[in-house]
Amino acid sequence: MSLILFRGLDIGVIPPTPASPYGIPDMQATQVLLKYARDFGYPIGYIQEQKGALIQNLLPVKKNETEQISSSSKAELALHTETAFHPYKPSYLLLLCLRGDSAAHTTYASLNEIMGKLSPETIEILKQPWFETGIDPSFKENGATDAKFTMSVLQDNGKGLELVYDDTVMSGKNEEASHALELLREAVNNSIESIVLEYGDLLVLNNRIRVHGRRPFAARYDGTDRWIQRALVVDYPIPADQIEGHIITTVL
């Protein structure tokens, strides 16, 4: 499974879009999202992102409108693997639309499409640990320090290849790697598809084999802005010393 779209879910009455993603009480939509999330694995949060929230609210925040962060609006959110830098990445990403915006296309690209545009030589280079990536701004807002993590872009998980990619914070550590990353970026950009999410739509993305992003849109900050609730799910065990309840506590 790389992508599933559920339409027309009964998520109840949605209040005005708030100005902040914090302190939002549970709603019918929240419970619907959690129910679906548990069908895909174990829902988790990260201690450095939205204070470990199990359900994350993605909505425009004025001070972030030009940043590479989910609370931006004017910026195009570049294609990326969710928490590409983290040792315990989510297996699945669930996006439930509470309030849509016709301009805010959710973008995505699949590994199969991308690899079909790459040479065998480039694929082999992308399998080497010759790349590094930084920490997402959303984590640095809540206590993570800036750091670089070395990794390969194509990783064998024993069942097949995974794509680990973040357009804005990833770089090659040598000339070959930098060139391969440019070829990958071109392949990713030529593989983009998009969808506009509407009230009651739930998009499920396989984070191992799909990258995702979002087109810019005009936020109004008047209670009518786009509002997405996000759940992150793992389908593998997290070491007991790296998680408390549903919150991954790994120090970065």
* Contact by Cβ (8 Å): 194, 108: yes
pLDDT for 220-234, tens place per residue? 999 999 999 999 999
Comparing 105-109, 119-123, 167-171, which segment has the lowest mean pLDDT?
167-171
Backbone CA torsion sign across 166, 102, 73, 246 = negative
Query: pLDDT averaged over the chain?
Result: 94
Q: Is 138 exposed, middle or buried (0-12, 13-18, 19+ CB in 10 A)?
A: buried
Q: Please check the confidence at residue 146 and state whether its pLDDT lies above 80.
A: no
* Each residue's pLDDT tens digit, 163-215: 999 999 999 999 999 999 999 999 999 999 999 999 999 999 999 999 999 99
How many CB atoms neighbour CB 210 within 10 A?
24
SS3 letters across 55-84: CEEECCCHHHCCCCCCCCCCCCEEEECCCC
pTM: 0.95
For position 140, what pLDDT does the model report?
73
Q: Where are the alpha helices (DSSP H) in 108-240?
A: 111-115, 120-126, 137-140, 175-189
Q: Are 248 and 88 in contact (CB under 8 A)?
A: yes
Q: How many CB atoms lie within 10 A of CB 87?
A: 13
DSSP 10: -
Q: What is the mean predicted confidence (pLDDT) over 137-147? A: 71
* Positive or negative torsion for Cα 174, 124, 88, 206: positive
Phi/psi of residue 11, nearest 5 degrees: -110, 5
